[in-house]
Amino acid sequence: MLEGYEERELISSFRRKGISKNEYAALLEAAEKELERGRPLAYITGEQPFYNLAFYVDERVLVPRPDTERVVEKALALAPPGSFFADLCTGSGCIALTLLYNRRDLTAAAFDISADSLEVARRNTERLGLSDRIEYHVEDVLKPASFRRSFDFIISNPPYIKTGSISDYPSLSFEPHSALDGGRDGLDFYRAIVENWSCLLSPDGFFLFEIGYDQAADIIKIAGNAGFSCGIFRDYGGNDRVALLKKKQVQFGAL
Ligand SMILES: C[S@@+](CC[C@H](N)C(=O)[O-])C[C@H]1O[C@@H](n2cnc3c(N)ncnc32)[C@H](O)[C@@H]1O
């Protein structure tokens, strides 16, 4: 049995696609079967609300999550005027595009290893009319960065689930495995990004990461080892969710 909000979302997606009313009943029945199999509603409707926008999504990208809105909120508050920033592991583009839409002074470069996901991100970019303020690059962020400009800040919601735990979440089985797998301890991306991308941060630059609810202590350690201070912010459920890493300022004594 469809929940009320599911039926509403489905019907408004039929309307957007120009489907006639006499086809609704059969399509609703088919959608109900898909939902029972565990397929996310967003992949069926092709749309997911995120912050104050709606993003096109399909199976090539992770469905944007409300937890990630917290990272966006922090970035909107912290981004210096006129910033040029990087969004690593951009997927649907939801983080970068929401920042650009809500802060007209920002420009961005977004990176993902998946050319397929960048097609989705470009589609969202065009829908939102933001094409002149963002560039996209296929890039493996686990390797040294090939980009040559510096950033005022670098934001990322990388894969952060432990390889061995992914099967504990059957609801994620419809989403791209590469969007989830953070390596043996779930921390591969944080270590690699801090190591490979800090050389591209401007002198006052910072990293903003979405993190798993149980990863704060590990991220603080990774930051400290690389010469960064680290602040942790919680989401609205009270879980640790956002890490802010800033370069520690070197103190020079009097000569
Ligand atoms: C957790 S999803 C985040 C997507 C989007 N930023 C969001 O917040 O909804 C992680 C993304 O990392 C990408 N990814 C996985 N491995 C990567 C790698 N080695 N280099 C760059 N991107 C990678 C995946 O393709 C996926 O789009």
Q: Where are the domains of the chain?
A: 4-37, 58-247
Identify the pLDDT of residue 170: 87
- Mean pLDDT of all residues in 221-240: 97
Which residues have any ligand 1 atom within 6 Å of their CB? 61-62, 64, 68, 89-92, 94-95, 112-114, 117, 140-142, 157-159, 178-179
Cα of 88 vs centre of ligand 1, distance in Å, is 7
Region 33-62: what's the mean pLDDT?
96
Q: How far apart are CA 114 and CA 147, in angstroms?
A: 17
Q: What is the Cα–Cα distance from 255 to 252, expressed in whole angstroms? A: 8
Task: Note the pLDDT of residue 182.
Answer: 98
Atom nearest to 65 CA in ligand 1: 9
Among 175, 179, 153, 178, smallest CA distance to 99 is for: 153
What is the pTM (predicted TM-score) of this model?
0.94
CB-based contacts of 84, cutoff 8 Å, min separation 6: 106, 107, 108, 109, 149, 151, 152
pLDDT at 118 (0 to 100): 98
Q: Which residue has the higher pLDDT, 251 or 227?
A: 227
| Strand, helix or coil for residue 93 | coil
pLDDT at 251: 65
Query: Which of 4-8, 115-119, 203-207, 215-219 has the weakest average pLDDT?
Result: 4-8
Whether the Cβ atoms of residue 78 and residue 72 lie closer than 8 Å to each other: no
CATH code of the region 58-247: 3.40.50.150
Closest CA to 142 of 197, 212, 95, 199: 197
Nearest CA to ligand 1 atom 6: 90
